[in-house]
Amino acid sequence: MIGVALKGLLGRKLRATLTAFAIVLGVAMISGAFVLTDTLGKSFDGIFDESYKATDAVISSKVAIETADGETEAPAFSTAVLGDVENLPGVRVAQGTIEDEASLVDKDGETIGRTGQGVAMGVEPTDDQSLNPFQLVSGEWPSGDGQIAIDSATAAKEHFEIGQSVGAYGDGPLETYEITGIVRFGSEGSLGGVTVSVFDLAIAQRLFDKEGKFDLISVGAEEGVTEAELVSQIDPLLSETMQVKTAEAQASDDSADTQDGLSIIKYFLLGFGGIALFVGSFVIANTLAITVAQRMRELATLRTLGASRRQVLGSVILESLAVGLVGSLIGLFLGLAIAVGLIALLEAVGIDLPSSELVFSTRTIVVSLGVGTLIALLASLRPAVRATRVEPIAAVREGAVMPASRFARYALPVSATVGVIAIALFSYGVFASGVDVLVRVVVLVAGVLFMFVAVAMIATRVVRPLAYVLGAPGARFGGTAGSLARQNAVRNPARTASTAAAVMIGLALITFVAVIGQGFKTSFTGAVDELFVADYSVSAGNNGELLTNEAAQAAAKAPGVEAVSEMRSGEAKVDGKTVLVTGVDSNLTKVIDITWSSGSDSVPPQLGRDGAFLVKRYADDHSLTVGSPLTVKTPAGKQLQLHVDGVVDPPKGGSPFGEISVSTTTFDGAFANHDNDLTLLNMEGGPSAENTAALEESLTAFPAAVVETREEFKDTRTGEITQSLQILYALLGLSVIVSLFGVINTLVLSVFERTRELGMLRAIGMTRRQVRRMIRHESVVTALIGAALGIAVGMFLAVLTTAALSQYGIVFAVPYGTLVVFVGVAILAGMLAAILPARRASRLNVLEALQYE
């Protein structure tokens, strides 16, 4: 029997191949996600290990509190401790350094790479450099003002040589330095494509506002002193706010953030792989259901020859398992290839990985093959059970039909129940408050999956009317072929429904994302329109980076500037909960139109050292009113005792304020970061070409600064949303492609089934062209049914979600243009899916087809 099942599969290679593709793409995504993130992870670990290769212990400041974004930098500490450390018996060498961010500028004056991605280091040139992760390749360590050493990769790429000058900027304005040395990171030479700027220690301390301080002291032990012994020697010398770790521990702490980031990417990609596999399971189940129906006589013959129901069940499941395993294997290696391609792409855009050794772990193989095969197994269960219902007598009866499923008559109540459960789960997921994030995600995912299953079940009943409407244009203008196509689409409503259901899933998710994205955009632009009364904004653009406050000061000197208001922010904790604290200045109300719940525009200028204003939602949630005391703990270890001076009610779609706003003076005293998120300006005469030019002129020393009017500000920020949407479309598009294989499969099988009929149509005068058109129209009608169902389901989910998110200002906004594009894509997809089946149908030999049994 095993032989029969496998031979049967080989006898239907095309179908088996198309079905395997339902698995291949999803598994490729999974294996690709694993390989990519594992490889990147190992590569970054390599960087961090290399950083402390020669070092035995590392002294740094503690981050007083852990905040969610993990980006909060530890404050620098006094250089005083270095002397004590050097005097310890176990210490061979100790080197204090400054580690910060700086960007280099190429010969055209453009920032190399992205702003904020360059590494800056300050080292004492006379020090023993044995612990320094950077080694001099040529030249000398920079010494004193105006000198810099840069990395060999950047030097080579941008054609810099020793003795030439290069522009660099960190927290301050752009300055020109003379290159005195070329350095290399460890043995690799490159730090994942980032630029490296090494300054004299004293210069770096001044440049980054860290006079008299170090960010890090690297310590090397005497011969025979272990890392642990060294750490225990150093520890007693340190104050409360400082810490010492073994080099190994420091490296793994340093890499933790990167690894966390990578694991988010990994689960994100795995999620989309999962969606593609879910769609794939529909395709497999549908294909098997059709072939079981077509092979009814064969199955019945097997039964007359003594095959038991169990053997029939087994043969169908085995067939699917074989397809699943082969598909998973192909997917596994396709994923590997995709990962290799992506890594090559990263290198092509300049993100060189220090070690591009591919990590292809056992876990990747086991999970990829396991999940793919399991999905195929699950998808085969229902068709396999139906196959056992084929009575042996069907072997001798002409035109026997598949017995109705035992559950067929319960289909409506069952699908209605599943639908209700789905809506209940989804609503709970979006509306319930105080639920653990993991529980919420699980409930939401379950709700969406149930929703798809329910709609797929109900779809059988709506296929007829939908096909009638969606097939109307084809029937109207496609002649006989068009109207036959429409009728063909509803000949077997269950088949068309489940084929369309696979298309539906991808489109529902894409529609959902599009509608939610539009909601974000609409509410954001609404908020900007309401708040933003400034003429200009100056920021580091839309990349989320900060812009040094010196840029704001420079912009303030531009001719015609009437008011400048800086805004910066940082995460802090109140009663152990993370809040965002904004630093604002007295000009705030001139550039932002604030709606006050309590207080007035006179509040911001009078905040002083301990005043704060809150956003209304936070104040309400914590029963805070004007006069309430508030204690805020910052990552720099400062504790702020504040009192509430006012409550603002900003539009929900895009508030520039964190939960708590304080004066910039208070902010700067409590946070290590003094750079701005945003600087808003008013200029005489409002936005104009002259004013823009004047502002840009004043900011030439700050290559990272971007000057924008209100409209430009809106465009770049919503452009960010559009960009994320496009990534999501691309990832979800994968599941649409999977569903296309389902459409192809169904059509190929239908053509096969209608061989005699196609022969007859050709015999009575239908041209090949007409045959092709007929198949193409049927395909388009099926795809359109999927699109119609998908758009409806996606909209429905979006309505629920926006209702739940309305407290955050997300509105329900339909991106009509985008939806029209989706429908167009569905039509195109239907046409593509029809190419192969249509060709097969049109090439049938008429005589043979007529005699086909």
Chain positions contacting other proteins, by CB under 8 A: 1, 3-4, 7-8, 10-12, 297-298, 301-311, 391-393, 395-396, 853
> Closer to other proteins at the Cβ: 314 or 611?
314
Burial class (CB in 10 A: 0-12, 13-18, 19+), 464: middle
> Closer to other proteins at the Cβ: 143 or 311?
311
Distance CA 825, CA 786 (A): 12
> Closer to other proteins at the Cβ: 305 or 348?
305
How near is the Cβ of 500 to other proteins at its closest, in Å?
30
Residue 544 CB neighbours (<10 A): 11
How near is the Cβ of 771 to other proteins at its closest, in Å?
24
Between the CA of residue 760 and those of 26, 848, 852, what are the distances in Å?
40, 11, 11
How near is the Cβ of 19 to other proteins at its closest, in Å?
16
How near is the Cβ of 750 to other proteins at its closest, in Å?
19
Q: Can you give the three-state secondary structure of 332-395, one letter per residue?
A: HHHHHHHHHHHHHHHHHCCCCCCCCCCCCCHHHHHHHHHHHHHHHHHHHHHHHHHHHCCCHHHH
> Closer to other proteins at the Cβ: 107 or 309?
309
> Token digits for 570?
């940082």
**SS3 (DSSP) at 613:** strand
> Closer to other proteins at the Cβ: 206 or 297?
297
How near is the Cβ of 392 to other proteins at its closest, in Å?
5
How near is the Cβ of 306 to other proteins at its closest, in Å?
3
Sort strands 611-615 and 639-648 into parallel, antiparallel or unpaired: parallel
How near is the Cβ of 403 to other proteins at its closest, in Å?
13
> Closer to other proteins at the Cβ: 428 or 852?
852
Distance CA 812, CA 809 (A): 10
Residue at token pair 């008013």: 682
The CB-side HSE value for 288 (13 A sphere, CA atoms) comes to: 32
How near is the Cβ of 309 to other proteins at its closest, in Å?
6
Give the residue among 543, 157, 102 at the shortest CA–CA distance from 349: 157
The CB-side HSE value for 266 (13 A sphere, CA atoms) comes to: 16
How near is the Cβ of 842 to other proteins at its closest, in Å?
22
Residues 835 and 748: beta-carbon distance below 8 Å: no
H/E run at residue 723: helix 710-753
DSSP conformation class of 775: H
> Closer to other proteins at the Cβ: 726 or 851?
851
How near is the Cβ of 307 to other proteins at its closest, in Å?
5
Q: What angle do CA 60, 65, 68 make, to 5 degrees?
A: 110
**SS3 (DSSP) at 724:** helix
Residues 199 and 207: beta-carbon distance below 8 Å: yes
**SS3 (DSSP) at 768:** helix
Between the CA of residue 9 and those of 13, 323, 379, what are the distances in Å?
7, 8, 16
> Closer to other proteins at the Cβ: 317 or 572?
317
> Closer to other proteins at the Cβ: 12 or 717?
12
How near is the Cβ of 14 to other proteins at its closest, in Å?
13
> Closer to other proteins at the Cβ: 5 or 494?
5
Q: For the chain, how many helices (H) and strands (E)?
A: 25, 23
> Closer to other proteins at the Cβ: 304 or 700?
304
